[in-house]
Amino acid sequence: MHRTLFDTPLVNTVLRAASVGFLKLTGWKLEGALPPGLEKCVVIAAPHTSNWDLPYLLMVAFGLNLKAYWMGKQSIFMPPFGPIMRWLGGIAVNREQASNMVDSCAQALVQAEGAVHLVIPPEGTRSKTRYWKTGFYYIALKAQVPIVLGYMDYSRKVSGLGPLFYPTGDIEKDMLTIKAFYAPFKGKNPDQFESAA
């Protein structure tokens, strides 16, 4: 995986302090933590309903000591913003080649040295959608890593990490369990988030 702001010396220390300070000043609370020694995982980022989710994601990642990589649509990586987005932890996704992306991300997770916490919004869009994309599930399954149920609840100003979920391969049953966990949470634009199965 490429170098990001999370492993840039000095910069990461300053940004961590600034992130934690900003979240406290604006009334946000952080909950949960990764289990000790968990270096590789897929983190669900839901609800995803606003452009504000990315800056908050980065601040929360600093606050919870994640080494976050996140997936975004290819268009936001176009010049001149591509290098900045990659330094922020971004990985460009070509939605036309989703199956290849799953395989390549799973392989990158397996081969990466050190910590990699791959953050994926399952809705795949900020717009209202009833059906979640399943790439996050198959990346975790193929890489044999757990899924961390990460959340951001704008109604209570709480963000954090829920329990680990180990995919069984029975995606229909597993998705019911995962989506039930997200039922109480509200995104910035709550009408755009659908957690029903």
Q: Could you read off the pLDDT of 96-124 as tens digits, one per residue?
A: 655 577 888 888 888 888 899 999 988 75
**Residue 196 falls within a domain, yes or no?**
no
Domain assignment present for 133: yes
Q: With respect to residue 119, please indicate whether it lies within any of the assigned structural domains.
A: yes
Is 64 domain-assigned?
Answer: yes
**Residue 115 falls within a domain, yes or no?**
yes
Residue 98, domain member (yes or no) = yes
What is the extent of the structural domain holding 149? 5-188
pLDDT in tens, 24-54: 999 999 999 999 999 999 999 988 788 888 8
Contact (Cβ atoms closer than 8 angstroms) between residue 91 and residue 68:
no
What is the C-alpha separation between 53 and 189, in angstroms, rounded?
11
Does 112 map to a domain? yes
Number of structural domains, the chain? Answer: 1
**What is this structure's pTM?**
0.85
Tell me the CA distances in angstroms from 52 to 59, 104, 170, 172, 187, one per residue in order.
11, 28, 33, 30, 10
Q: How many CB atoms lie within 10 A of CB 104?
A: 13
Tokens representing 195 are 């957690």
Contact 135, 102 (CB under 8 A): yes
193 within some domain: no
